Structure 1
């Protein structure tokens, strides 16, 4: 199996794939969506998008994740040990990919000037993000990782979004009030898939809130 995956730099829905491909050794080239063949093959122009050399194409983050990790089932504890674990992994993947990323973008895009500044949008995003983050904290107060005592695909995908808020929004005082997330982040720094990318991650010196 060989192919190419188009990833949007900086996107929490794309950033897992270069790390995943490096760890697994899959024969997949990572390309930027500015590449001419991207629009030809994917008219919606949404990332990530995967094209195999035999012509097989796949879009949507979770579908691509499932397909790729299924190629290397014994390489990592992707889905836990039981069917209940697997169901929980998919629960967290869906939660992060939809609700969490959407709230993250409502704050980050105007706060970083990627779209025009909109204080109301930022405030709404922050309010939802805080509520959703409390669910992560509650879970990580109960379990070492999101699904039990070992990291799964849920953790290595969730950290792609959490690292954005951790390094740009959550200051040291906030982190101290969320010991579950703080411990989990430190654990993920040792993870063989994503640890290298997280080694310099620190709480925000000052929250990025735009103008």
Structure 2
């Protein structure tokens, strides 16, 4: 599961940033504590940037936003294609969700320790496989997850489906390869505990080893 992440550096990784001067992106400031139901940047198959609500609502939902109770900010890569919430957008709603990194927690309830997880290489941004669904006039999205690999399994048993450049192209083109994202090399470090509304670059500062 991935329930918190850090906005990407939209001016790195060779991305065309001319759109940052256009509403609704003008004045965009990166957040270090992005939460489900907030608007996030996604990249459409043509790599066009869009804003989407991070908590997918399927197009067939009747009622108000608040009436959608299912937890759909994440989707399991292994079985999302067959789930009613994601089935309709599995092939036609693919997107990428860029991020600088994400958080997971270890330890007992009430004493959990947050860890910041990021690329183990030189890349500043990570790109997660996502699905986007337009509900009425609202664009929404979910982030796909898979079993964690050895680089992060000590922190959590799940991880986002994080794609290298070739895998990004394959995912957006319709690949269902179960190995997508399996080989992503990540690193992590312990960070300070933070609250729901805390933000700022200090949230990802390395707190060193425990003890």
**Band of TM-score, shorter chain:** under 0.3
TM-score (normalised: structure 2): 0.27
Q: Return the structure number with greater strand share.
A: 2
Instruction: Tell me: higher relative CO, structure 1 or 2? Use CA pairs within 8 A at least 6 residues apart.
Output: 2
TM-score (normalised: structure 1): 0.27
